[in-house]
Amino acid sequence: MKAAIFKEIEKPLSIENVKEPEIEQGEILLKVLASGLCHGDLHIIFGDWKTDVDVKTPIILGHEIIGQVMNDGKNVKKGDNVLVYNAFGCNECKYCKRGYPQYCDKVKILGVHENGGFAEYVKVPSEDNLVKVSGNPIDLAPLADAGLTAYSSVKDIEEGSNVALLGTGAVSMIALQILKLKNTKTTVVGRNYFKLSKMLELGADKVIVVKNNYSEDLSSKIGREKFDYIIDYVGSNETLKDVLWMIDRMGELRIVGEFGGEFTVPEQLMVLRGLRIKGVLYGTKKDLEELVKIFNEKKIKTLAVPYKLDEINMAIDDLLNERIIGRAVIIP
């Protein structure tokens, strides 16, 4: 089969013919229909996470997967189209039992710890992590990670809340659409004019163009306004700096992006305003199932931008240089 192989940090992926996966009892073989390209893939390719995430090379990346089932299981049959809920835990620890395998100490992610979706076929350890879907695979693929993370990041935000989104990537764009279903007031902050224009098209009440740095530009534009929630889809030093000062009493900062940021938390500010800080990693399988229902009702768009597998290094360059408005999706 054809696959894109990650061999060395800061080097292009190598398009090669490799052996198809061999499955054992209980495993499912998928013919990959599409696989989204995530900033997480870029973090791995460029070595940003080398001290935090154990990625053994050579490996096939791609963790946002939709595929066609090639062998019968108990609940899926050959020919079914499925999204992969890509957090395979031990099923025994307290996190797995509560439905959060992404926090399991032994979690395995296809495309990170084992071969993933930038190939013609992928092996799935358990059919329990598959969600049946129907429709255009290119549009469906981003639901498996970008959509799920977006849904998880906003799912319990109250109707009518005042929310600021930092960043204009695919996750933020999908999150905005879900927030608008809750009649929230939404401000989007970012540097890319074209992406901010798309955010207005998707329903943002206001966009703020960052010309210097996030905290200063945001603070100068909102005046005395405060937000109930600020959701940071970047997670850099720049986006996190002084952000807590712009959150209203009993408000919450949610951090989704993983660009290595650090920030100092003023203890008195936290106490006197009753502020909360929450990290958001992925979502639950139930979240994914609920998200698929919303998508099927045509309430959100995934904004997929297709590339062929042979074009994956072009897609990586386009994502790195912010030329993609939406989610790059790789098609074998």
- pLDDT tier at 3, thresholds 50, 70, 90: very high
Q: What's the domain count of the chain?
A: 2
* Joined tokens for residue 24: 């054992």
Report how far residue 235's alpha carbon sits from residue 257's, in angstroms, rounded to the nearest whole number. Answer: 4
Q: What is the CATH number of the domain that holds 220?
A: 3.40.50.720
Average pLDDT of the chain is 96
pLDDT at 220 over 90: no
- pLDDT tier at 215, thresholds 50, 70, 90: confident
Same domain, 8 and 130: yes
Helix count and strand count (H, E) for the chain: 11, 16
- pLDDT tier at 150, thresholds 50, 70, 90: very high
pLDDT, position 330: 98
Same domain, 159 and 123: no
- pLDDT tier at 51, thresholds 50, 70, 90: confident
Which pLDDT tens digit goes with each residue over 174-211?
A: 999 999 999 999 999 999 999 999 999 999 999 999 99
Q: Per-residue pLDDT averaged across 127-150, rounded?
A: 98
Report how far residue 217's alpha carbon sits from residue 208's, in angstroms, rounded to the nearest whole number. Answer: 8
pLDDT, position 84: 98
Provide φ and ψ at 234, rounded to 5°. -110, -60
Predicted TM-score of the model (pTM): 0.96
* DSSP H/E element including 73: none
pLDDT at 223 over 90: no
Same domain, 106 and 225: no
Report how far residue 122's alpha carbon sits from residue 119's, in angstroms, rounded to the nearest whole number. Answer: 7
Report how far residue 138's alpha carbon sits from residue 226's, in angstroms, rounded to the nearest whole number. Answer: 38
pLDDT at 58 over 90: yes
Cβ atoms of residues 85 and 133 within 8 Å: no
CA 218 from centroid of its chain's CA atoms: 24
Same domain, 33 and 136: yes
Range of the domain at 322: 2-145+283-331
CB atoms within 10 A of CB 63: 26
Q: Per-residue pLDDT averaged across 1-21, rounded?
A: 96
Q: Using CA atoms in the order 55, 61, 64, 70, what is the torsion angle rounded to 10 degrees?
A: -120
Same domain, 178 and 193: yes
3-state SS, residue 122: strand
Which pLDDT tens digit goes with each residue over 112-122?
A: 999 999 999 99
Report how far residue 46's alpha carbon sits from residue 67's, in angstroms, rounded to the nearest whole number. Answer: 27
pLDDT, position 26: 92
Burial, 274: exposed, middle or buried (Cβ in 10 Å; 0-12, 13-18, 19+)?
exposed
Same domain, 80 and 154: no
- pLDDT tier at 218, thresholds 50, 70, 90: confident
CA angle 221, 232, 228 (to 5 degrees): 65
Same domain, 272 and 299: no
Strand segments, DSSP code E, in 58-174 are: 59-60, 64-69, 81-84, 121-124, 130-132, 162-166
Cis ω for the linkage preceding 125 (within 30 of 0)? no
pLDDT at 52 over 90: no
Report how far residue 35's alpha carbon sits from residue 37's, in angstroms, rounded to the nearest whole number. Answer: 7
Which pLDDT tens digit goes with each residue over 270-327?
A: 999 999 999 999 999 999 999 999 999 999 999 999 999 999 999 999 999 999 999 9
Q: Per-residue pLDDT averaged across 220-246, rounded?
A: 93
Same domain, 240 and 141: no
Same domain, 259 and 297: no
pLDDT, position 216: 83
